[in-house]
Structure 1
């Protein structure tokens, strides 16, 4: 149900939760303020969708500061019912918890980036398994914290719908086994947790999720689904500062190529962004990158595209990309890919000579 325009973004509510969790974990605002790149009114506006990368970076900082198990618990504790907007009420107001989590799966895009995270419901006779799919590596602690938190939120919302404490009969986590997992025991209400699983999931008795929700109101779920669709339709995807810089750099590169210039200059891009060159370099440093690194990344993508989609000679591509000659271009391609421009070309443009 989420449009591609929302890919790469999350709800502002989720970003606020991550900021609050970071604060509670003792991370000072100066440690992540530059990652937000947003005006305060944007972070407080539920129509705005900040970049998903913002929340990921804050989670990374948190897992440096504390074990991922503790981070997941703190993140979940910050997400009381209503904190994630209409998505919460889709679960807690449905006729049954099972119907609610199905709606939550359909409209997960109101909260997270569905390009990276998915909620799946599997029913198998006496059991219902609620899975959170994210393909990030098991050793990536920030992703482990996010997956564990997602399961904690699902359990909390389902318990809220049933108005009683639901305990899963089985928990699996796509994470390496931590030294201690008392935080996870608190999160899921059970010690029956399996680690290094292919998917993070909670398995409940079907009878627990099929019990009528005590406070369900006829027709309310349909209203909430329409509201969720409207939320997605009117949301405003925001881009972080680094996205804006890369857009400016790509535009300057296109103009430089059209005017037969070697490459865009730092000062030219700074002017486009109404910044001094010193401020631009400082902002790049704050985002963990440099002018030379960004320029080389752009050149690499540009050269790869020309090799794979055009029949231009190596000399011509070198001239259009700011390299002194074909030999310099060959050295760069060897450094990037460990192969030659001709071999790289054959993989994407078999008819080129």
Structure 2
């Protein structure tokens, strides 16, 4: 009914209105995943990870017409306090938490079962369409680019720290360090890079006094800022500010 209403009247607020009248629990365990964590950030990180895997599993069951049980599931966040909830949602207790990425594995019998509603040739058309859509879309941030975006935001919030940045990425610090090593870099190298870029932005894009710039990028005083800027650019902060384009 909801789908028909939305299709018939796509510009109405029928979706939000139905949700407004639906108490927590109306959408099953997914509701509780969003509302039961210690903070909204942690709840959302957990829910998005599990719901993505759950959605794929639901579609796999629908496609095969079988009650498929995953042979293994991995999710990136740590195990929730109520460990039985994800098991009920996914139909298995073979769930590995704190993994580098989310995944879902099936048995050989399940992945090779013929689909009862298969339409020969349609899959190739859909793949071609998907390739065209992807080619026209904006590139998705890679793992390192996403880390850098989060690190820059942490600098601007005055909350730079390995544990804090890892928390914003919904991973543990050890996992974050391992991912950086996979890109042949380190936490120290990346924080220095981000500090350099932010320092240049603040000096050339704002009128903040040098002590304020030093504080924004995590330096104890102007002398430390001056040494860092000279190391990066061979200039003083004042000279770098005067060299701003335009």
TM-score, normalising length: structure 1: 0.36
Q: Which has the higher contact order (CA 8 A, sep 6+)?
A: 1
Larger strand share, 1 or 2: 1
TM-score, normalising length: structure 2: 0.49
